[in-house]
Structure 1
Amino acid sequence: MKSLKVLGFLLTYPTDNHKTYAKENLRILKDEGVLSSENVTTLKTLLDWIELTDLLDVQEEYVSLFDRTPSLSLHMFEHVHGDSRDRGQAMVDLNDLYVSKGMELSCHETPDYLPMFLEYLSTLEIDEIKKDLLDVSHVLSALEKRLENRDSLYKAVFKSIVSIVDEKVDEKKLKEVLDKSQGDAYSFEELDKEWEEQFAFENSAQTTSQGGCPKAEDMLARMGINDIRKGM
């Protein structure tokens, strides 16, 4: 499901590629027809904003939301397990699923990083996608609600993801997630801890001077954006 790859790409740190491929990504969303016209329209508003806004401003908005606000973290298990040991085991299990599909983590993210999870889901059949999304739909809905409260255009991404589940979100679980977070920005100490956890999970050539640290570029390559442009 290419739409899931596009939605995941939109949640990665903004680069020139996000601006360059904004129209291409919109075309993919329209052509695949997985999302409703209403959701595609709201995503178009986000894509237009990314394309037309100065990149530094887009990056500043992204960092303010997803890097500096714990209640908007894109690491899903933080909203469920916090810093408990269960989170570590859950990440190991999730990483094993990725490996089974031939996927490898980039150096800077843990397995519960939402864009990576969406890329994994994009390789599955629709019934499996819905089942796995349902398991985290309360977390995704909580993120959507918080972004809506901030009038953020990024809410469109989460609304679209949840719509694929096609089942009602567990309100009790949703309330539990919403009650956990206050929405305060990270302290510098918390930011340092976050980076330490991410780099400790995988020590490959990408995490050393021998390799780079690709993000959105890797996702574009795996999306086959050039092949898509040729009509795939």
Structure 2
Amino acid sequence: MKISARTRNAFTETRPTAAWQSASLLLGYPDEELLARRPLLRRAAASLPPDAGAPLAAFIDHLDATPLRDLQADYVATFDHRKRCCLYLTYYAHGDTRKRGMALLRFKHAYAAAGLHLEEGELPDHLAVVLEFAATGDQREGRRLLLEHRAGLELLRLALTDAGSPWTRVLEAVSATLPPLSGRDHDAVARLIAEGPPDEEVGLAPYGSGTGPVFLPDPALEVRS
């Protein structure tokens, strides 16, 4: 999806927080609370520039037309059973390596600097969490984190597109709030497509409390409550 100059200008003049907050909610596990928020989400989508608002509205249409049980089954099949559709941003750049532990710490420190702390057991690089932080915590720092993982976001969008997933629309909306991919990002995406994330099965001790090695859950197997 190409982002027009007009839309990019619109997002420099008005804060993209409504798009980020909406996308954050829509990338969470579907439940009754999300469905109850559809009128609010639809109003937010209508207030946004078309390149972000239209795909969000299209996804909300999908929520309207799909039974909750089917939405939940599709969410699990998409995000829990496909590594290419991983919602944990550092996975794309670092895989399961020591470097991923350090990257997770940078997210955690950014949240702490804004006075925000995650619930126990919640990883800070989940896209829904990062978008919520960007929308309600520190917009500038949140945007920096999104741009730092721009290649991973693009790979996720491409993977969802290839899978024919309705969540593609949500990623299109997020992409519309960010600058176009740079040459360096294009190279990173091409490399990820060709090689995949780094593969090194190790304990990610830098992210832990210092009491011992910490093993991150496989993003394709994590169980949601």
TM-score in terms of structure 2 length: 0.74
Q: Report the CA distance between 1:87 and its aligned residue.
A: 0.6
More divergent stretch after superposition (64-73 vs 42-51): 42-51
Alignment CA distance shift 1:3-1:105 (3 Å): same
| Residues 128 and 101 of structure 1: CA distance in aligned 2, closer, same or farther (over 3 Å) | closer
The equivalent residue for 1:98 is 111
Residue 132 of structure 1: how far off its partner (Å): 3.4
Query: 1:63 Cα deviation (Å)?
Result: 0.4
Q: 1:30 maps to what in 2?
A: 46
Deviation sequence 1:97-121 (CA, Å, 0-9, x none): 1111122213342111111111111
The corresponding residue for 1:111 is 124
Question: Cα 1:128–1:98, aligned 2, differ >3 Å: closer, same or farther?
Answer: closer
State the partner residue of 2:30: 14
1:130 and 1:164 in contact (8 A); partners too: no
Change (3 A) 1:107 1:101: same
Partner of 1:69: 82
CA contact (8 A) 1:29 1:40 kept: yes
Distance 2:118 2:112 in 1: 9
Partner in structure 2 of residue 192 of structure 1: none
Matched, 1:172 2:187: yes
Write the distance in 1 (CA, Å) between the matches of 2:172 and 2:109: 28
Residue-pair matches, total: 183
Contact in 1 for aligned 2:24/2:128 (Cα 8 Å): yes
Q: 3-state DSSP class of the match of 1:165?
A: coil
The answer to whether residue 63 in structure 2 is matched with residue 50 in structure 1 is yes
For residues 12 and 49 of structure 1, the distance between their equivalents in structure 2, rounded to whole angstroms, comes to 15
Q: Is the 8 A contact 1:70 1:181 kept in 2?
A: no
What CA distance in whole angstroms lies between the structure 1 residues aligned with 2:65 and 2:24?
A: 20
SS at 1:197 equivalent: coil
RMSD across aligned C-alpha pairs, in angstroms?
Answer: 2.2
Deviation, 1:94, is: 1.1
The equivalent of 2:18 in structure 1 is 2
Residues 100-179 of structure 1: pairs in structure 2 closer than 5 A: 100-122=113-135, 123-125=137-139, 129-169=142-182, 170-179=185-194
Runs of 4+ in structure 1 displaced over 6 angstroms?
A: none
**Counterpart residue number, 2:11:** none
The amino acid across from 1:137 in the alignment is R
Q: What do the CA deviations read for 1:73-98 (whole angstroms, capped 9, x no partner)?
A: 11111111111111111111210111
- The answer to which structure has the higher helix fraction is 1
- For 1:174, the aligned partner's letter is V
Q: Which ranges of structure 1 fall in alignment gaps of 5 or more residues?
A: 183-195, 199-213, 216-232
How far off its partner does 1:172 sit? 0.2
Deviation at 1:53, TM superposition (A): 1.3
